[in-house]
Structure 1
Amino acid sequence: MKAKEFKITWGMVIDLDKCTGCGACMTACQVENNIAPMVDASNKMRTLSWMLVYELSNKKSGAEAEVAYLPRPCMQCGNPACVPVCPVIATDKNEEGGIVSQVYPRCIGCRYCMAACPYHARYFNWEDPVFPKGMEKALSPNTSTRPRGVVEKCNFCHTRLMQAKDKARQDGGSPEALADGAYMPACAEICPTGAISFGDVKNKEHKVFDLAQGKDAFRLLEKLGLNPQVYYVSKREWVRKLGDNYAATGKPGAAKKHS
């Protein structure tokens, strides 16, 4: 199935050689989107974190040992596997910019989308959100909390996109031609090493345009044909190989097309 074409394609480019695995992006994501602390953080089967950082290893020892850290938000796939399996159209790919939506009032918690997503970027909310005393004063007024029994996921801080469009209108500009940096998800804004870049991967005036087409850029599981809008960059070959883009022919998948 051919991916839907968008004039604007919001994408993220993450430099794995810059990422230190500090977890600031995870914290910023939880704060921005009002994700309540887990009732039992030791139960990894019921974790709830829209942004998750994985540790990668080259499996060598001694002086040759290397590690890398891979932040994994929702890939906002151009041809998402989660959309066609949803029986109530709670998730869709119609919005300009290519962000995969998640309409919580429609979700019936069947979790078909979770089973279909090869990136494990969707999470089932097992508990009603409960915040420690006093923490409710720090909740974001722009994002509603989700009830128990629905599937949640990263949406590239969609409320920030709406705010950026409103500001563009107020300033007399076009909400459909946002300048580089006008719209920035919380994870990209907070990253202390500048490992996360964000923008329109089809706009030559945006930094991510060149980064996504670099020779060291790749996308996870690109061989599946889901066309992720999250790109990764690393000069280390072993890191790029862990992207698992090698099809049966042994040729790595191309990460330079913005189709």
Structure 2
Amino acid sequence: MPKFASREGQRVPDVTFRYREDGEWKDTDSTQLFKGKTVAVFSLPGAYTPTCSSTHLPRFNELAETFRANGVDDIICVAVNDPFVMENWAGDQGCDNVFMLPDGNASFTEQMGMLVDKSDLNFGKRSWRYSMLVRDGVIDKMFIEDDVPGDPFEVSDADTLLHYVNKDAQAPDQVALLSKPGCAFCAHAKQLLDAAGVAYADISLPDSIRNCALGALAKAQTVPQLFVNGSLIGDSEAIEQWLQQRGADAGTAKME
């Protein structure tokens, strides 16, 4: 069990923050951030650190629309970093769906009881990793990582918090399209995906690695090739069939 006490049922600390947005200084406070809203909050050790950059922040950003569809108004990322660092990290990550809140003085984190000493890593004082759901300024639920060595990341992830909000919430499909520049079939596939409202990562393969990558990943030599949730859908014809089935499934779900 974590050594950190849960603050469920208590109000969030009353703190004023300074942050940077579009190169300008701005101010906010706990009242503006939480009053009358349902807010998903996650706090992490630091900007640009491995787990924070590769998994924790990106997944909350990816699931933002699903959170909102299930009644969450805003998503906030808290870190004991200065406003310049948080602004630059947000830009590097492309996380437009998450408000990056710099707790540079650690005032919020300390009052939450989540401030830890990471001097052994030359970090100084930082936040322990946790997530929480806040309703109208009152902490409804907290997911706090266990007090174990290293940087545990087991319960404060976006999916865990989302499924607390709604156990039946459906995360969006993770879709990737392997393509190449100037490919008419690829362009057509993208048009179909766009028309169907499917969000996807377009992975344009350079000539030097295309055949090897296609062979290794899709056991094919032609593009486009579509992957959904780790499974190969296939080429242009397979993409059209998948979209038709997806549309039929959506229609059935609405009727039910």
TM-score of the two chains, using structure 2 as the length reference: 0.29
Greater per-residue helix proportion? 2
Structure with larger Rg: 2
Structure with the largest fraction of strand: 2
